[in-house]
Amino acid sequence: MGERKLLVLFGSQTGTAEDTAERIGREAKRRHFQCRVEALDGYDVANLISEPLVVFVCATTGQGDPPDNMKMFWRFLFRKNLPLGSLCQLDYAVLGLGDSSYPKFNFVAKKLHKRVLQLGGNPLLPVALGDDQHDLGPDAVVDPWLLALWDKILALYPLPPGLELISPDVCLPPRYTLHYLAEDTPQPGGGLLQPTAPRAVPSELHPFAARVVSNQRVTAESHFQDVRLIEFDVTGSGITFSAGDVVMIQPQNCPEDVQQFCQLLRLDPDRHFVLKPTEPGTSLPALLPQPCTIRHLVTHYLDISCVPRRSFFHLLSYFSTSELEREKLQEFSSAQGQEELYSYCNRPRRTTLEALWDFPHTTCAIPPEYLLDLIPRIRPRAFSIASSMLAHPDRIQILMAVVQYKTQLSKPRRGLCSTWLASLNPEQGDVRVPLWVKKGGMKFPADPETPVIMIGPGTGVAPFRAAIQERVAQGRRGNCLFFGCRQKSKDFYCQVEWEELVMKGFLTLFTAFSRDQEEKVYVQHRIRENRRLVWELLSSQSAHVYLAG
């Protein structure tokens, strides 16, 4: 038996794989393992050859793609020159999280499992294929797989003599301790967003504070959906992009929610604190200043409007002073209580803040240092860039529908990022938004002679507006757009712009207004009506076809 060290590496897009990796980390601590949990791209992959025991947890995104935070690892792992026996000392297991309604279900996990095996790794178990489509979600596969995994691991690394499994009734220490500063401690000035000269190209760790130039509603006031064309000034940021690229925006919670949260938990929003890692080697949250105020933590970091996960209720149950509340929280975090939890949380899209309202005795007893274990961080949102630098230098525009819908809860559900962006009024002073740009999945043809057929109903037209602006600025004419919406008078985005380009001969435009006549007409009907032209472009001019929803 060697040293009892376990490494858990995750590739996560929406946070589910990260949440599962953290769960494995907690279970390892109960079994007295030294355990690190890290994002795959945050780990120095060269050290993999000396790791004895690794559990990989990875999601699959899009059409079988690895998540953003494991892309570098992925490229390294599939290098042709890696020696085949290089991982022969490694015992490993792969847990995949996917969605079986996609053709490439859990593609990344399967491929990773196979590649590590090829490099000489020793699989402890077959790859686990968690499925979002299952009635009980991925946990239906994850729960039994983890039980089997711990059996295997403990057979290889038994508990040292005299040590017992830490009971599930005992709450593990928090990841960080929180130390309040005395009221009179002098504080460094400045908040999150100082429009400073950037050190490098803006990224998630160093976003650019872009000024909002305009925020214009592009649907009729009488239309049910509020859609905005928002423009940001990125002068001096070093940001460059092409058509098809994506802008990432870091949203924040609204002041009313922040105030409510602080009242519920009896926190003073203006208190300053510093965080200290409980275990050496744990890094501090990258996006939090030190020292920090409670208000800043809740506004910019804690995702209090997300739908809470099972792990939230599990940790919450330890703090409960009310037996009734504790029993309910324990039920929600048990394998048997998952249907009940789904009905309480996921179906009605109940937020973390609303769940805390329902457990008042527990909520007011939450120790502040557990907040970062309890509530995930706010994740950035991706938007297709709807403008070209050639047409609008130093500017980024997005076309954004404000997310709002009804569930069985009385209060309408609202999208965190879109609601916040829609509320920003550049006429009320200097309004700034943290953002950065990343490469998108759409590449437009380099050859100026290649025509493009673009199918973009609704806000799906955003990347095509960027492409058309870019191509027109380069003098390219073969642009064919199929656009669809409900009514010509209500939600025909960029109508004037398109009609001008049609007049100048730069654009062939087909529109489908589904509700402007008795029978509904969609873009696919317009494609069928114009099948001769479409076929001509495809067969004799090798046109590229792009589709965005």
Tokens found for residue 269: 């929003």
Check residue 348 and give its pLDDT.
97
Model pTM? Answer: 0.92
Q: Which tokens hold the place of 283?
A: 């890094």
Report the C-alpha gap between 262 and 293 in whole angstroms: 12
Distance CA 449, CA 541 (A): 8
CB burial string 325-356: b at 16+ within 10 A, e below: bbebbbbbbbeebbeebbebbeebbbbbbbbb
Backbone angles phi, psi at 54, to 5 degrees: -135, 135
pLDDT (tens digit, 0 to 9) for every residue of the chain, 549 residues total?
568 999 999 999 989 999 999 999 999 999 999 999 999 999 999 999 999 999 999 999 988 999 989 999 999 999 999 999 999 999 999 999 999 999 999 999 999 999 999 999 999 999 999 999 987 789 899 999 999 999 999 999 999 999 999 999 999 999 999 999 998 776 655 454 554 554 689 999 999 999 999 999 999 999 999 999 999 999 999 999 999 999 999 999 999 999 999 999 999 999 999 999 998 878 899 899 999 999 999 999 999 999 999 999 999 999 999 999 999 999 999 988 999 999 999 999 999 999 999 999 999 999 999 999 999 999 999 999 999 999 999 999 999 999 999 999 999 999 999 999 999 999 999 999 999 999 998 999 999 899 999 999 999 999 999 999 999 999 999 999 999 999 999 999 999 999 999 999 999 999 999 999 999 999 999 999 999 999 999 999 999 999 998
**258-374: what CATH class?**
mainly alpha
Question: Does residue 291 have a cis peptide bond before it, meaning omega lies within 30 degrees of 0?
Answer: yes
Structural domain spans, the chain: 5-156, 258-374, 452-547
Query: DSSP state, 100?
Result: T
Give the total residue count for the chain. Answer: 549
User: What is the CATH architecture of 452-547?
Assistant: 3-Layer(aba) Sandwich (3.40)
CA distance 315 to 375: 10
Q: Integer distance in angstroms from the first to the last C-alpha of the chain?
A: 54
Beta strand 272-277 with 292-293: parallel, antiparallel or unpaired?
A: antiparallel
Our measurement of the distance from residue 217's CA atom to the centroid of its chain's CA atoms, rounded to an integer in Å, reads 26
Separation between Cα atoms, residue 544 and residue 539, nearest integer Å: 11
**Residue 455 β-bridge partners:** 482, 547
- Indicate if 452-547 has the same CATH topology as 5-156: yes
Residue ranges of E strands in 279-428: 292-293, 381-384, 395-401, 404-405, 413-414
Q: How many CB atoms lie within 10 A of CB 122?
A: 15
As a whole number of angstroms, the distance between CA 245 and CA 398 comes to 11
Q: How far is CA 392 from CA 150, 232, 234, 287, 431, in A?
A: 56, 11, 11, 31, 20
Measured between alpha carbons, how far is 78 from 129 in angstroms, rounded to an integer? 21
Q: Which two tokens stand for residue 70?
A: 């494991």
Predicted pLDDT at 136: 78
Span 489-538, pLDDT tens digits: 999 999 999 999 999 999 999 999 999 999 999 999 999 999 999 999 99
Taking the domain 5-156, which CATH number applies? 3.40.50.360
d(CA 393, CA 240): 10
| DSSP strands (E only) in 253-380 | 272-277, 292-293
Q: What is the DSSP pairing of strand 272-277 with strand 381-384?
A: unpaired
Report the pLDDT value the prediction gives residue 401, as an integer from 0 to 100. 98
How many H helices and E strands in the chain?
18, 21
Q: Are 261 and 304 in contact (CB under 8 A)?
A: yes
Q: What is the reported pLDDT for 189?
A: 53
Q: Return the pLDDT at 183.
A: 80
pLDDT of residue 184: 72
Contacts of 59 (CB under 8 A, 6+ apart): 11, 12, 13, 14, 16, 17, 67, 96, 97, 98, 108
CA distance linking residue 388 with residue 237, whole number of Å:
16
